[in-house]
């Protein structure tokens, strides 16, 4: 392995230090199963080629697997080895019908499973267990922050917990190093990543129709300037619309269709997406068909892109593959069911694609993983055309976003916060025991229980008096978003035998409220100083900023023991979180990058 790494130093494509470390780790670890995390643009292709050479140089054999047939074909081009889909081998194992190349797999074999993040856990388990039983080694290559499997997944997140996981951190795809750093921050869900895209005018906003039109115009401009450009959209309907526009422009700019002079070649074929296509159009096949062979080892696959050479009289298409340049006839029945125009594609179809520029249309409902995939396909520029204006339908007028429209930055931050990565059952079980989750839930139960107990014990007369007095002082305050919190605070004052009416009146009259967007929230802030001292509390005070249990509530045989138990639970979870933070190898993600580790107590208190 070291000799192979040394050989690449003088080649046309030398390995970066991170790639060298990854190849050596995967080739020499001696582990049966090992995971390598490769973010978008990290030079995975070059590393896999070097790993294949290193393994075969030692007398071994490499076999490649991938979740999709197109990814398997790319892996075959990268490594020059036998490849197939993970699902095909899993099916063959379960039905005892192994292909010839799988019959010989043994202890000298290395199975590279590419795009492992998109593989379902069941297929991975079937293939890995079978291969390990034969003595083979398995290497999973993928990214747990890109698009996940359609079936049950999330195993990559679980495997990352092991120390033997290796990761590429240097990005090779992007021309601008600042964009490389921005994509890594985007991958981690850090809002700071948005600064690059906003500052470099990569985010364009408007209604969906306008964004679609402008994305198409920008794409067409890039194409005229000789760039390899791709349009990406969140839905098949928008993709079909963009494809229709692209073909219409092609025919307008160049109405002379190549080959029209030959019989039958100027005709159009109706495709599965409802669009028409003729000679010169780019199309994409949407279904694997092993009967449509383009070579001894290759066939027509879902995601392949082709250029139409001619439309035959029977409705079939003669097409040429965009990458390997091989030619094949696609039958009319296959064309009608599984061929679409290929100028634009969905986000899932774009994973694994690398082009010069990308123009992606987004509605604001995407997940972080979808945004990350969309904005990491282009080497020189990745543009986002973001819908920020609703369609004006009556239903949107009463929605909060209709009355208080979010800014583009707000929408992008929402997308970053929308983590849609798959989680395995083991991961979910561990998260359910995480004190971070348990502490938040226990705190909310404690606060809600205090409010209910206070209202029950002060009685309906006092509760009605608080409601009536509040609306008299500030008409409509009960409609403010923070009214439940203000009402709960006043009820707790009453349970502490304080005068809630007097406290509210003083808070209202202390300063003006006319400029407040939420008067109830402002009053809660003003009333904090009126909260009884925690030193005189009847029961334990779980956290300094939480209200204590009133004496009257603590003495109640029903509410008292229950709230005391909730307070003790909060204290226990807070202590667990303190210990977890102090013993963690890495600082929390929110902590600033510094030369030295921050004080453990400070980290723990902020975490809490």
How far CA 295 is from CA of 74, 214, 291, 327, in Å, comes to: 15, 40, 11, 10
pLDDT, average across residues 459-488: 92
* pLDDT score at 46: 83
* pLDDT score at 536: 45
Strands 289-293 and 269-270: unpaired
Sheet with strand 317-321: strands edge to edge: 327-330, 317-321, 305-311, 282-285, 339-341
- The 10s digit of each residue's pLDDT in 482-525 is 999 999 999 999 998 889 999 999 999 988 888 888 999 999 99
Contact 52, 81 (CB under 8 A): yes
* pLDDT score at 260: 42
* pLDDT score at 204: 94
* CA geometry: angle 154, 155, 158, nearest 5 deg: 100
pLDDT, average across residues 310-320: 90
* pLDDT score at 490: 93
Residue 336's SS3 state is helix
pLDDT, average across residues 267-276: 88
Residue 547's SS3 state is coil
Residue 478's SS3 state is helix
Share of the chain above pLDDT 90, in %: 38
The neighbouring-strand residues paired with 344 are 231
* pLDDT score at 170: 82
pLDDT, average across residues 17-39: 86
* pLDDT score at 119: 84
Identify the CA nearest to 41 among candidates 349, 355, 322: 355
* pLDDT score at 484: 92
Say what the pTM is.
0.70
* pLDDT score at 216: 94
* pLDDT score at 569: 94
How far CA 131 is from CA of 55, 109, 358, 487, in Å, comes to: 17, 9, 39, 63
- The 10s digit of each residue's pLDDT in 177-235 is 999 999 989 988 888 889 999 999 999 999 999 999 999 999 999 998 989 899 999 88
- The 10s digit of each residue's pLDDT in 353-386 is 888 999 999 999 999 989 999 999 999 999 999 9
* pLDDT score at 398: 53
* 455 or 46, greater pLDDT: 455
Pairwise CA distance, residues 439 & 423, whole Å: 21
pLDDT, average across residues 323-327: 86
* pLDDT score at 362: 93
Of the pLDDT bands very low, low, confident and very high (cuts 50, 70, 90), residue 603 is confident
pLDDT, average across residues 261-286: 78
Sheet with strand 229-233: strands edge to edge: 203-206, 378-387, 355-362, 229-233, 344-346
Contact 507, 526 (CB under 8 A): yes
Of the pLDDT bands very low, low, confident and very high (cuts 50, 70, 90), residue 607 is confident
Identify the CA nearest to 451 among candidates 414, 417, 490: 490
Pairwise CA distance, residues 348 & 370, whole Å: 8
The neighbouring-strand residues paired with 167 are 37
* pLDDT score at 262: 43
Pairwise CA distance, residues 305 & 357, whole Å: 17
- The 10s digit of each residue's pLDDT in 566-583 is 999 999 999 999 888 887
* Least confident stretch, 314-328, 382-396, 475-489, 490-504: 382-396
Identify the CA nearest to 360 among candidates 183, 223, 242: 242
Q: In this model, does residue 265 exceed pLDDT 50? A: no
pLDDT, average across residues 583-604: 72
* pLDDT score at 75: 84
Burial class of 289 by CB neighbour count within 10 A (0 to 12, 13 to 18, 19+)? middle
Contact 381, 104 (CB under 8 A): no
* 203 or 171, greater pLDDT: 203
Pairwise CA distance, residues 84 & 65, whole Å: 5
Contact 597, 587 (CB under 8 A): yes
Contact 119, 113 (CB under 8 A): yes
* pLDDT score at 261: 37
* pLDDT score at 72: 84
pLDDT, average across residues 257-264: 42
353: its two tokens: 């694609």
* pLDDT score at 428: 77
How far CA 594 is from CA of 427, 439, 581, 599, in Å, comes to: 30, 28, 17, 12
Share of the chain above pLDDT 70, in %: 88
Identify the CA nearest to 346 among candidates 282, 298, 284: 284
Torsion of CA 276, 281, 284, 290, to 10 degrees: 100
383: its two tokens: 């543009």
* pLDDT score at 317: 92
* 585 or 302, greater pLDDT: 302
Burial 298-313 (b: 16+ CB within 10 A, else e): bbbbebbbbbbbbbbe
Q: Give rounded-to-5 percent helix, strand, coil for the chain.
A: 50, 15, 35
Q: Which residues contact 356 (CB under 8 A, 6 or more apart)?
A: 222, 227, 228, 229, 378, 379, 380, 381
The whole-chain average pLDDT of the chain stands at 85
* pLDDT score at 162: 66
Contact 276, 266 (CB under 8 A): no
Pairwise CA distance, residues 302 & 235, whole Å: 17
Sheet with strand 61-66: strands edge to edge: 82-85, 61-66, 109-113, 137-142, 33-37, 166-167
DSSP notation for 165-212: -EE-----S-SSHHHHHHHHHHHTT-GGGHHHHHHTT-EEEE-HHHHH
The neighbouring-strand residues paired with 320 are 307, 327
- The 10s digit of each residue's pLDDT in 232-254 is 998 888 998 999 999 988 888 76
* Least confident stretch, 386-400, 448-462, 537-551: 386-400
Q: What long-range pairs does 498-507 form, CB within 8 A, spacing at least 24?
A: 498/530, 498/532, 500/462, 500/466, 501/465, 501/466, 501/469, 503/527, 503/530, 504/466, 504/469, 504/470, 504/473, 505/469, 505/473
Q: In this model, does residue 257 exceed pLDDT 60? A: no
* pLDDT score at 9: 61
Pairwise CA distance, residues 563 & 495, whole Å: 14
Pairwise CA distance, residues 318 & 370, whole Å: 34
Contact 264, 311 (CB under 8 A): yes
């Amino acid at each position: 392995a070291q000799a192979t790494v040394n050989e690449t130093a003088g080649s046309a494509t030398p390995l970066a230090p991170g790639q060298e470390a990854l190849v050596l780790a995967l080739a020499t670890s001696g582990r049966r199963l090992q995971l390598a995390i490769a973010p978008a643009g990290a030079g995975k292709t070059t590393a896999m080629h070097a790993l294949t050479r290193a393994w075969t140089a030692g007398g071994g054999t490499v076999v490649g697997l991938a979740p999709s047939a197109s990814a398997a074909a790319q892996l075959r081009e990268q490594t020059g080895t036998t490849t197939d889909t993970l699902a095909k081998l899993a099916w063959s194992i379960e039905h005892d019908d192994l292909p010839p190349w799988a019959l010989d797999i043994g202890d000298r074999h290395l199975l590279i499973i590419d795009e492992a993040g998109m593989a379902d856990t069941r297929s991975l388990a079937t293939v890995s267990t079978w291969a390990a039983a034969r003595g083979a080694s398995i290497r999973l290559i993928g990214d747990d922050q890109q698009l996940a499997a359609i079936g049950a997944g999330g195993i990559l997140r679980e495997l990352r917990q092991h120390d033997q996981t290796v990761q590429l951190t240097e990005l090779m795809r992007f021309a601008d190093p600042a964009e490389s750093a921005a994509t890594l921050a985007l991958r981690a869900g850090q809002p700071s990543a948005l600064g690059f895209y906003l500052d470099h005018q990569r985010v364009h906003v408007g209604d969906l129709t306008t964004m679609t039109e402008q994305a198409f115009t920008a794409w067409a401009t890039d194409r005229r300037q000789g760039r390899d450009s791709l349009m990406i959209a969140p839905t098949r309907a928008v993709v079909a619309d963009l494809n229709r526009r692209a073909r219409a422009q092609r025919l307008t700019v160049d109405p002379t269709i190549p080959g029209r002079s030959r019989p039958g070649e100027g005709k159009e074929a109706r495709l599965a997406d409802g669009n028409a296509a003729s000679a010169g159009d780019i199309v994409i096949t949407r279904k694997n068909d092993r009967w449509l062979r383009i070579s001894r080892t290759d066939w027509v696959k879902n995601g392949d892109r082709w250029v139409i050479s001619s439309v035959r009289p029977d409705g079939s298409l003669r097409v040429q593959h965009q990458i390997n340049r091989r030619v094949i006839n696609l039958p009319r029945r296959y064309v009608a069911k599984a061929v679409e125009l290929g100028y634009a594609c969905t986000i899932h179809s774009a994973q694994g694609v690398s082009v010069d520029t990308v123009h992606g249309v987004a509605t604001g409902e995407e997940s972080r993983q979808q945004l990350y995939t969309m904005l990491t396909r282009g080497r020189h520029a990745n543009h986002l055309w973001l819908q920020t204006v609703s369609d004006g339908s009556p239903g949107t007028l009463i929605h909060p976003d209709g009355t208080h429209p979010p800014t583009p930055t707000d929408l992008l931050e929402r997308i970053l916060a929308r983590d849609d990565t798959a989680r395995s059952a083991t991961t979910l079980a561990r998260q359910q025991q995480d004190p971070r989750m348990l502490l938040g839930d226990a705190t909310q139960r404690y606060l809600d229980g205090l409010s209910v107990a206070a209202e029950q014990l002060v009685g309906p007369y006092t509760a009605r008096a608080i409601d009536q007095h509040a609306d008299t002082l500030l008409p409509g305050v009960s409609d403010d978003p923070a009214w439940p919190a203000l009402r709960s605070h006043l009820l707790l004052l009453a349970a502490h035998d304080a005068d809630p009416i007097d406290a509210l009146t003083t808070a209202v009259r202390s300063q003006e409220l006319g400029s407040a967007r939420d008067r109830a929230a402002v009053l809660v802030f003003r009333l904090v100083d009126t909260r009884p001292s925690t030193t005189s509390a009847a029961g334990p005070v779980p956290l300094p900023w939480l209200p204590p249990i009133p004496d009257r509530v603590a003495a109640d045989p029903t509410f008292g023991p229950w709230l005391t138990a909730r307070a003790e639970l909060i204290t226990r979870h807070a202590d667990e979180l303190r210990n977890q933070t102090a013993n963690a190898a890495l600082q929390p993600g929110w902590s600033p990058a510094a030369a030295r580790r921050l004080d453990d107590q400070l980290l723990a208190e902020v975490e809490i």
